[in-house]
A and B are shown apart, each in its own frame.
Chain A
C-alpha cells in the first residue's frame, strides 16, 4: 500500500509528476469501481486541474504544500464548491454546493488533489454503507462483505489502495468501524478540533470530521492540515494545533496504556478470536515499552442506549431543514404547504433516516423530553466522567474497535438494533468527545481487524504517537493484499 507521504516525496524528487500520480489514482479507482462502488462521483477534470497546478508550482520552484499532489477522496457529506453533495440521500441528489467546507478548502490549499466524492450511509446514519440511497459499497478484502459505515466509500477506496488519504466523518464510530473493516487508519479527532463548516449535519454535539489513511503518518499530516479554529464554526475550539508529525514515535517507553475491564470482558464473550487478537496487540504494546494498566468505564455499557436517544434527537432537529423550500428535492402535488413538506420528506428520505427522525422527534416531544432526552444527557455526563477518571491512571486507552470482522451484505439490514450494536466499542468515546482512532491489528478469517486507541481531549498527538509505534513495529496492513487488488494482478 503506497502512502501519501511516499507519493509526495516522489513528486518533490520529480520522479513522477502530480498529473501522473493523479492519473494513476483515477485509473486505480476506476479499475476496481465496478466491484467496490466506492464513489458517488469521481471528479477527474477537477483532479487533473488541481494536479496541473501542483506541477506548475513545482516547476516555478514554489512550495507545493504539505499534501502537495496527493490524491484524496472526500466523503459526499462535505461541500466542494461547484460540485454535487448528496450526503447519500435522494433529497440532496441534485444539490450543488455553493461553497466549500473549511476542511475541503484547507486540503486544497495544502496541495491535496480531490479525485472524487465517496459513498456513505444516508446522512451518515448506518454502519455498513448499505443505507446509501444510491447503491451499497463493498469491501476490498471481500466484495461480498460491507466496508463498514457510514464512511464506507472512503474506507473502501483507501483500503483498495486507490488513494492514500480520504476524509470521513464519525458520529458514533463512522470513521473507526469502516477503518477497521478495510485495514486502514481512521481518526476521530476531539469534538471541536476540526471545523464542521460545510459538513452536512447529522448530530451536532457528536459529528466530527477526520482522516482515513494508508498509515499513521498520513493521518497525522492530514489532521495537522484540517485541525484548528474556524470562525465559521462556533463549536470549533480556538486552541493551537500541536505538531502531530513531531509526536510520532517508535517506542512506548514511559507510556501508560489503559485496558478497559468492561470491554475486555465483553469482547471475550462476543468473539474469543478477536479477544485473542487484541491480547496479542496489547502484548506488542508492552514489548514496545508501554506499561499496561487496568481501567474501568462502568457506564460505557449504557453508551448505546444513550446514543440512540441523543443522536436521533439531534438528527430530527437538524434534518428539519429538508423541507423542499430552499434546496433539495421537492414533491408538490398541488396541496398545501404541509402536504408538500410531508410528501417531500416521505419521498426524499430512506428508511433509516425516517426511523431516526421519528425516534428523535418522540424523544424531544412534550411529556417524554425529561424521561428520555434529558435522562440520556445525564448519563452522558456519567460516561464522560468515567473517561476523566480512567485518564488519571493512563495516557491512552487501547481496546477493541469492533466486535466482529466485516460482515456480508444484507446480514443485518432487517434488524436495525443488530446494526446499532456494531458501534458498541466506539460510541462511548463519541459521547465523551475524546479523540479515538483505529489502526490495523491483524486478521480473523482473512479479514482485517482494527485496534482502537483513545486519548484525553485534545491529546491527538499522544494517540497518534502510540499508534505509529505500534503500526511500525507490527506492519499488519502491509502483510497481505486485499482480494480485489490481488485479482487485478500486481500494480504499482
Chain B
C-alpha cells in the first residue's frame, strides 16, 4: 500500500465539505490504493515536456462586449434556496466567522 500524503480533514476544509470521521477514514484507505497508481507518474522524466491544459488550438476566445438576450431577474432567482425581493438571501458573512 502506498503512503497517503493527504491530510484529508485539512483538504476537506479547503473544499468546504464537512466529512464525517467515518468518511474521512474510508477515503483515506481508498486513496492509498489510488496513490499506488498515481505513484507511477513520478518515475517519468517530464523535465523537457510542456503541460497540456486542453487539446484544441483555441486561445483567448473573446466576443464584442454587447448585451444580448439574457435571463430575466425572476428567472435567474427562480431556483434560489432563499431570496428577499430581488436578491439572493445568504447567511451573515461579515462577523459570521468568529
Q: Is the CB of B12 within 8 A of A358?
A: yes
A381 touches B50 (CB 8 A): yes
Contact B41 A377 (CB under 8 A): no
**A336 in contact with B92 (CB, 8 Å):** yes
Query: Does A186 have its Cβ within 8 Å of any Cβ on chain B?
Result: no
- Most chain-A CB neighbours within 10 Å: which of B5, B30, B52, B80? B52
Beta-carbon contact of B55 and A433 below 8 Å: yes
Q: Does B67 contact A (CB under 8 A)?
A: no
Instruction: Supply 24 A–B pairs (Cβ within 8 Å), ascending by A.
Output: A96-B79, A98-B71, A191-B56, A231-B63, A235-B54, A302-B44, A305-B38, A305-B39, A326-B80, A328-B79, A330-B81, A335-B91, A336-B91, A337-B91, A337-B93, A337-B97, A342-B16, A342-B18, A358-B8, A359-B31, A361-B12, A377-B53, A379-B49, A417-B37
The residues of A with any CB-CB pair to B shorter than 8 Å are 94-96, 98-99, 190-192, 205, 231, 234-235, 237, 301-302, 304-306, 308-309, 316, 320, 323-330, 332, 334-343, 345-346, 349, 351, 354-355, 357-359, 361-362, 365, 368, 371-372, 374-382, 384, 415-417, 420, 431-433, 457
B12 to chain A, nearest CB (A): 6
Please measure, in the bound complex, the distance between the C-alpha atom of A99 and the C-alpha atom of B72, giving whole angstroms. 11
Contact residues on B (Cβ < 8 Å of other chain), bracket: 35 or more
- Closest residue of chain A to B39 (Cβ to Cβ) is A305
3 closest A-B pairs by CB? A433-B55, A336-B96, A377-B51
- The residues of B that contact A96 with a CB separation of less than 8 Å are 78-79
A residues in contact with B90, CB < 8 Å: 325, 337, 340
What is the distance, in angstroms, from B24's C-beta to the closest C-beta of chain A? 9
Residue ranges of B at the interface with A (Cβ–Cβ < 8 Å):
5-6, 8, 11-20, 23, 27, 30-31, 33-34, 37-42, 44, 46, 49-56, 58, 61, 63, 71, 75-76, 78-82, 88, 90-93, 96-98
Name A's interface SS.
helix
Cβ–Cβ contact A358 & B11, under 8 A: yes
- Across the interface, which residues of A come within 8 angstroms of B41, CB to CB? 302, 305-306, 309, 375-376, 379
Complex contact B15–A361 (CB within 8 A)? yes
* In the bound complex, CA of A342 to CA of B17 (Å): 4
Q: What residues of A have a CB within 8 angstroms of the CB of B19 in the complex?
A: 346, 354, 358
From residue B40, how far is it (CB to closest CB) to chain A in Å? 5
Tell me the complex Cα distance, A329–B71, Å. 21
Contact between chains at A338 and B97 (CB < 8 Å): yes
Contact B79 A378 (CB under 8 A): no
Assess A305 versus B56: contact at CB under 8 Å? Given A323-B16, A345-B17, A374-B51: no
A235-B54, A345-B18, A379-B41 known; A328+B81 contact, CB < 8 A: yes
Q: Which residues of B contact A372 (CB under 8 A)?
A: 38
Q: Which residue of B lies closest to A205 (CB)?
A: B54
With beta carbons under 8 angstroms apart, the residue of B6, B18, B52, B79 that contacts A377 is: B52
Using A332-B82, A378-B50 as known contacts, list a sample of 11 further A-B pairs with CB atoms less than 8 Å apart, ordered by residue number in A. Answer: A235-B54, A305-B37, A308-B34, A327-B79, A346-B17, A349-B17, A351-B23, A378-B46, A416-B33, A432-B55, A457-B56
- CA separation between A49 and B56, bound complex, in Å? 39
Whether the pair B17, A358 counts as a contact (CB closer than 8 A) is: yes
Q: With A and B bound together, what is the CA distance between A237 and B57 in angstroms?
A: 9
| B55 nearest in chain A by CB position | A433
Say whether A346 contacts B71, CB under 8 Å. no
A47 to B69, CA, bound (A): 27
B27 vs chain A, min Cβ distance (A): 6
Contact, CB under 8 Å: B11 / A417: no
Query: B75 to A416, Cβ gap below 8 A?
Result: no
Report B-chain residues with C-beta under 8 Å of the C-beta of A337.
Answer: 90-93, 96-97
Question: Please, how many angstroms separate the alpha-carbon atoms of A98 and B78 in the complex?
Answer: 8
In the bound complex, do residue B18 and residue A343 qualify as a contact, i.e. CB atoms below 8 Å apart?
A: yes
Closest CB-CB distance, B15 to chain A, in whole Å? 4
Q: Which single member of B34, B55, B80 contacts A416 (CB below 8 Å)?
A: B34
